[in-house]
Amino acid sequence: MKEQTKYLVLCVDDEKIILDSLKKELQAFLHPPYTLEVAQGGEDALEVIREFMEDDYEVPLVITDYIMPKMKGDQLLRSISEVSPQTFGILLTGQADLEGVRNSVRYGRLQSFLLKPWDTVDLKGDIQKTLNLYQQEKQIKLQNEHLQEMVATKTQELIVQNQQLIDLNHEKDNLMGIVAHDLRSPINNIVGCLELVRLSAGLNEDMPMYFGIINKEIDRAFDLIEDLLVISKYNALEKELTLEAIDVRVLVGKLFLMFAQKAEAKNINLHFEAPTDMQDFQTEKDMFERILENLLSNAIKFSPFDKNIWIKITHSSTEWLISVQDEGQGFSEADKQKVFQKFQKLSALPTAGETSTGLGLSITKIFTERLGGQIRLESTQGKGSTFVLTFPI
């Protein structure tokens, strides 16, 4: 609970009888959170104010005599304004010159000027009006500070949003450049090989090599186009997901068949581990299948010959845990920082000349988060990698 603000109202005069009279008249009029205090002279008043401010009091009002030894009332109000600029003043005196009143107004925030002997009703009325004015100014200041904070926050949000738009536009421009560059390369290779075939007098021993290059470059171009279309589709379209129950065993079996030829070509053994009592998994089928397909494809591409790859699935009462583990090259610390970013060239290379678009893992992350899950990488360079997916049940 926020502590209530404490306020000091100070009466200053060099005559004790005047101070006693003020205290008697105002004691019942001023009640908490206002505290009434008296000071006999300007120096005493400044000391009282310092002590109360050290105790976290605010000083909304000082009622002071004008003619006092050592320090006149206008000098006192000016000194107070240096330590408490919001403090208002009321002059209560039998005599004052015009210059003193002018100084009190200019430097001491003077609100009223009452002659001795004062009228109690007028004095209390002026005190109440001054305290109300103090609270109004304080409220306006708080509202302005709050408004400034809101403006600053909103401005920062707009700056962030603007930067995001700039980044997106920059990414779009980069994307177009990458598309132009990366598609040009395989297409140029295809054209070159076809030209060599055209110039050949007939089939010779180099023809199978040329056609192999053509097929590989065509696959590379199609892979890139497909990945670009996938990213464009799911970044731009926040459609409602269609969830259905899938048997993960059946899906993994399908993927193993899909990649059997590539795995056998490198003598890589594929393993699947899951509990016997595993239930069906509620998810968006195409998106989830693409996640596992990307991870399995990467594991095969970047694994050396004669290695193993595991897909392991477990679950608790709250989440599914799915991992794809390989015995490949692993990731360096620098690679880990950018592994899920688009078009990143990492230090590891495919081990049998396979192609890579640099988009597979970024697509995997996008899809995983779209399904409400998370993905993390556990890897030590030279000792393989494990991509771990978690999805809420």
Report pLDDT digits (tens) over 47-101.
999 999 999 999 999 999 888 888 988 889 989 999 999 999 998 876 666 666 6
Model confidence, pTM? 0.48
Q: What is the pLDDT of residues 156-170, one digit of tens each?
A: 888 888 888 777 766
What homologous superfamily does CATH list for 6-118? Response regulator (3.40.50.2300)
What would the pLDDT profile of 235-268 be if each residue is shown by its tens digit?
544 556 788 998 888 899 999 999 999 999 999 9
Pair of tokens at residue 161: 């949003």
Among 14-28, 163-177, 236-250, 306-320, name the one with the lowest average pLDDT.
Answer: 163-177
Looking at residue 35, the DSSP 8-state letter turns out to be E
pLDDT of residue 343: 63
Please state, rounded to an integer, the average pLDDT across all residues of the chain.
Answer: 83
Helix (H) or strand (E) holding 264: helix 260-265
The highest-level CATH class for domain 161-236 is mainly alpha
The dihedral sign for the CA sequence 295, 298, 300, 304: negative
6-118 against 244-392: fold identical: no
Q: With bands split at pLDDT 50, 70 and 90, how would you rate the model's confidence at 154? A: confident
- CB of 299 within 8 A of CB of 309? yes
Domain ranges, ordered by start, for the chain? 6-118, 161-236, 244-392
Instruction: Quote the CA–CA distance of 140 and 192 in Å, as a whole number.
Output: 76
Residue scoring higher pLDDT (111 or 51): 51
Token output for 50: 């310092």
Q: Which two tokens stand for residue 369?
A: 């988060």
Contact present, 223 and 257 (Cβ < 8 Å)? no
pLDDT digits (tens, 9 = 90+) for 350-387: 776 666 666 778 889 988 998 999 999 999 888 899 99
Among 119, 53, 117, CA closest to 80: 53
State the pLDDT confidence band at 113, using cuts at 50, 70 and 90: confident
Which of 43, 50, 80, 63 has its CA nearest to residue 131? 63
Alpha helices, DSSP H only, in 304-346? 333-338
Of 68, 115, 58, 118, the closest CA to residue 88 belongs to 58
CA-based angle 131:93:39, to the nearest 5? 65
Domain 244-392: give its CATH code: 3.30.565.10
The closest of 83, 135, 81 to 110, measured between CA atoms, is 81
The pLDDT value recorded for residue 237 is 47
